[in-house]
Amino acid sequence: MTELLSPVGSEAALHCAIRFGADAVYLGGPYLQLRAESAAFSFEKLAQAAEEVHRAGKKLYVTVNALAYNDEIDALPAYANRLKDCGADAAIVSDIGVLTTIRKSCPELELHVSTQASCMNYAAAKAWYDLGAKRVVLAREMSIDEIRKLKKRIPEDLELEAFVHGAMCMAYSGRCLLSSAILGRSGNRGDCAQPCRWSYALVEESRPNQSFPIVQEGAHSFVLSSRDLNCIDLVGELIDAGVTSLKIEGRMKTEYYVAVVTNAYRGVLDGTMPIEDARRELLTVSHRPYTTGFYHGELPNDHSNAGTYSQTHRFAGTVLSYENGVAVMEQRNRFARGDVLEVVSPTLRHAVVKADDLRDASGEPVEIANKVRQILTIRTDVPLSPGDLLRIKI
């Protein structure tokens, strides 16, 4: 069975990942987790997350994928055992020293090798396997044909994971150096400033006072910024090539992103959502122009011309309860009385709610819902469920 793996950077995203069909989730703990501190789970929260995930029959993987300094290795044995005790099903690592240390000190904890390790051939995959890895997350530069060839020459029980959706770093398998060089903030330590998203100008060395803007699309010059990955049309090909886990990027994204993207890939995997609907769903979340990456070979020449973010819909809020024709929701973005709100649900398709009868928690009519996290009620005949999301077309 193919695993759908969703990102989690908050408790709300965790609930959405589980409810909208992820088979497993990955999140960061308090140590070496390669994302901003806001996306890190404490030991207490991690244990609670593991309990919720396992109760739903899913798995939880913890990222320990930063490149470690000398003085960080000694803390790993205790940390790995703490992760195991919290209920983690696997640790995702990229540093060979981190992997071997965890393997020796906590052999019960399954190990997955991160895409940061740039595994692109069967020899590297087998080397990781010999060191104790259960799974390898393939380098983003691999084509489907290369994955197929690799699969034929590795141990049968070595699992392959591949990214299918989300942001891609501009440097080789995420080894970004720009952030460190310019600002002293290392992308490989979870502190990337994303300088590849900035606009740049060309300067000739002997004319330092003259700069020439690099324009590729209107007023934008994102020459280093990659497009976002979207492989909704390649799901079958990736599975046929031997990929056992389809990974969605986005631990810093909102619960709306996690819900919509997970729902789309779940629907295509299960055959419950037409591919045309899935494509449209993936346009509703914030994204740069989409690409299928290297999976069908070399990138198009304009791949790095990512342009600006776009989305067709805005997240309006989360349904908290529904009873006797009244939905209680928590507002997230502005909408108004009379607006048509689309329902995002793992069970309802193409459902809409019209906010004609919109009230606050005290029952007073509301004309404009513009207070974030305000509790509101909407009268509707649509049988909503707690955890359903509402959105409005932009």
pLDDT tens-digit map of 144-192: 999 999 999 999 999 999 999 998 876 655 556 677 777 877 766 667 7
Residue 280 and residue 349 in one domain: no
Residue 250 and residue 331 in one domain: no
Which has the higher per-residue pLDDT, 197 or 65? 65
Residue 237 and residue 123 in one domain: yes
Instruction: Dump pLDDT digits (tens) for 305-349.
Output: 556 889 999 999 999 999 999 999 999 999 999 999 999 999 999
Query: What distance in Å separates the CA atoms of residue 171 and residue 188, rounded to the nearest whole number?
Result: 11
Average pLDDT over residues 80-95: 97
Q: Is residue 375 part of a domain?
A: yes
Instruction: Dump pLDDT digits (tens) for 255-275.
Output: 999 999 999 999 999 999 999
Residue 238 and residue 251 in one domain: yes
Beta strand pairing call for 135-137 and 110-113:
parallel
Residue 144 and residue 264 in one domain: yes
CA dihedral of residues 343, 55, 258, 9 (deg, nearest 10) = 140
Residue 284 and residue 332 in one domain: no
- pLDDT at 198 (0 to 100): 73
Residue 18 and residue 131 in one domain: yes
* Percentage of the chain lying above the pLDDT 90 cut: 76
What's the CATH code of the domain at 353?
A: 2.40.30.10
Nearest 5°: the CA angle 243, 304, 309 is 90
Residue 119 and residue 196 in one domain: no
Query: What distance in Å separates the CA atoms of residue 27 and residue 42, rounded to the nearest whole number?
Result: 11
Residue 139 and residue 183 in one domain: no
Q: Is residue 29 part of a domain?
A: yes
Average pLDDT over residues 87-111: 97
Residue 52 and residue 161 in one domain: yes
% helix, strand, coil for the chain, step of 5: 30, 25, 45
Please give the C-alpha separations between residue 134 and each of 176, 237, 273, in angstroms, as whole numbers.
26, 23, 32
- pLDDT at 219 (0 to 100): 45
Cβ-based burial of 364 (10 A; exposed 0-12, middle 13-18, buried ≥19): exposed
Quote the domain boundaries for residue 260. Answer: 3-168+226-291
Say if residue 48's pLDDT is above 60. Answer: yes
